[in-house]
A and B are shown apart, each in its own frame.
Chain A
Amino acid sequence: MIRTMPRSRGTALGLKLYVILYFIFLFAPLLVTCILAFNDSQFPSLPWKGFTVEWFTGDKPDRLGIFHDQINIDSIWVSIRVAFFVTLLSLGVGTCGAFLFEQEQFPGKQAFYFLMISPLVIPGVILGISILMFSTTLGVFFENHWGLDVALFRPGFWLVVLGQFSFIATLVTLVVSARLKKFDRSLEEAAMNLGASRFEVIWHITLRFLKPAIIGSGAVAFLMSFENFNTSLFLVGSEATLPINLYLQVRDGSTPVINAISFLLIVGTSMLALLNLYFSKKKD
């Protein structure tokens, strides 16, 4: 039944077959998407009409490849910028959160901790609408009282960043906290004993120890932001992020150019994933 024990042929074979089927289930949609990115056809479907890379490089109006598709390229660029700022903000605040909950004592800490993990149990759609509404309320308030028109309060780039940050920061906090828990605090005490201030200690000792967790959660934060749909849906202004832009195209009918973008995303994220894994393996 388990590998240390003898087991019946039937069960073992059945389980193996199941796992193989599971992996087929897992990879079939991705493989098909990738393959059809190279089909010489107007539609992302079979039959196979020959190999082409025109959905990447084509520049004719009826075969506009991704490299010449300005709308999609723009949305990729928007997504990258959003993800960059979300990662930066989440890492900063999330690391503060980790220190706060692991090393500081203050009244109401328990309740505050639950508040910190609550974004995990609030559906992304609701985060999106509540932030949209609150920013609108603030916008109206500022306009009525001071006659100020604050761009930040209107759907757009920064609101998307804030919306995604609101729950990705929780993830960073949890990952960094988990690492901080393993930190031997006598190292900090030793450093303080040797004359370092609290902030010197954090900078030279603790943050150095947290680096792998910060890098790892940063990579995950970047990807989560890059792929976020639910929260962003309500907060985008004129600059659509890639998932929103793709969603609109998929909903209204599709061309193999979507397969081409998907292919690039699959290859790109797989490499990032493997890289992340490689580094996390190395540090162990």
Chain B
Amino acid sequence: MDKNGMHDRLRWGLLLFLTPVFLWLVLLIVLPQIDLLIMSFRVESGYGDSSWSLYNYRQFFEEPIYWLTFVRTAVYSVLVTFLTFVVALPVAFYITKVVHPRFQGFLTVLLLLPFWVSELVRVYGWMILLRESGVINHFLLRMGLLQQPVEMLYQDATMIMGLVYTSMLFMVVPLISALESLDNSLIEAAYDLGANMGSILYKIIIPHATPGIVSGSIVVFMLTLGNYLTPNLMGGKNSLWFTEQIYNQFIASFNWNQGSAFGFLLLFLSSVIVWLGLKLTRQNLRKVVQ
């Protein structure tokens, strides 16, 4: 086979692989995002014509309910990400470093199992546990700890718990694989050199697990920020998660331009926070994705 033939063949391979991927990314990701951006800068006048305007973004800053919800969503998402990490770390540590290797596989499977089930089913489970007529109230009343049922749903703390629960998997898995690659002798060496539990955690375990922590945090943060089900079903009734505002603009008010602006703001927020997280921990996205 001559050099040219080989070359042609490889080009054909490239074209074969590139075409579907190109169509996917351009038609479903790039162009829709551009469309979203354009729409967010346009307003409809009463008769179906539209013009360029910053009105949608002005609206966002002038209407406190919008930007307050936005800030609230961002702050709570960061909080949820942090809580998820704190809750998941001891479990990942226990499974990778403490429990007898015989149970390691079993516990890992057990850990992943609930997350194969639809988020809706899991949220529904929490609802029938926590609501006024729910299972927990039933038992508390039975045991005489409560005189009358308490509404545990529709509160911020419950919503945060639900969000932590929902995104747990995406923190536990990268943590487990990060800790698995941590050589036990490093922990032993630190202990031998005079370190205690706390300094081993801060000096050895967390620095080693940083790539895992960052990738887990990014995914958890993203999913929390973009979550609709959990805040909607477990949180308060008045649309206090930003995705609910987007939904309202699109489905209830049918104001797509305003909705696009909100969507674009959410995208901007998530990109900025992910970027900040990567910069602060000196990681890069390619490494984190793998």
Contact B35 A28 (CB under 8 A): no
Cβ-neighbour of B229 out of A18, A36, A247 (below 8 A): A247
Contact B114 A44 (CB under 8 A): no
Q: CA–CA, A98 to B119, complex, Å? A: 29
B20 CB to closest chain A CB, in angstroms? 5
User: Given A93-B21, A106-B14, A166-B24, are A266 and B274 also a contact pair (CB < 8 Å)?
Assistant: no
B152 at the interface (CB under 8 A from A): no
Q: CA–CA, A85 to B5, complex, Å? A: 37
Q: CA–CA, A4 to B9, complex, Å? A: 55
Q: CA–CA, A127 to B243, complex, Å? A: 12
User: Given A26-B111, A45-B133, are A197 and B128 also a contact pair (CB < 8 Å)?
Assistant: no
Do most interface residues of chain A lie in helix, strand or loop, or is the interface mixed?
A: helix
Q: Within 8 Å CB of A125, what residues of B? A: 226, 228, 243, 246-247, 263, 266
Within A240-263, the residues touching B (CB, 8 Å) are 242-243, 246-247, 250-251, 254, 258-259, 262
Q: Within 8 Å CB of A266, what residues of B? A: 117, 121
Contact B266 A123 (CB under 8 A): yes
Per-residue CB proximity of B157-195 to A under 8 Å, as 1/0? 000000001001000000000000000100110010000
Q: Within 8 Å CB of B110, what residues of A? A: 23, 26
Number of A-B pairs, beta carbon distance below 8 Å? 265
Q: How many residues of B contact A (CB 8 A)?
A: 93
Q: Within 8 Å CB of B227, what residues of A? A: 230
B135 at the interface (CB under 8 A from A): yes
Within A86-139, the residues touching B (CB, 8 Å) are 92-93, 96-97, 99-100, 103-104, 106, 112-127, 129-134, 137
A229 at the interface (CB under 8 A from B): yes
A134 CB to closest chain B CB, in angstroms? 4
Contact B117 A269 (CB under 8 A): yes
Cβ-neighbour of B29 out of A119, A227, A234, A247 (below 8 A): A119
Within A168-186, the residues touching B (CB, 8 Å) are 169, 173-174, 178
Question: Assuming A2-B188, A26-B114, A43-B133, what are 8 further A-B pairs, CB within 8 angstroms?
Answer: A2-B187, A4-B184, A32-B135, A104-B13, A125-B263, A130-B263, A229-B228, A246-B124
Give the 8 A-B CB pairs with smallest separation, nearest first. Answer: A123-B226, A29-B125, A130-B32, A134-B32, A166-B28, A227-B118, A100-B17, A46-B138
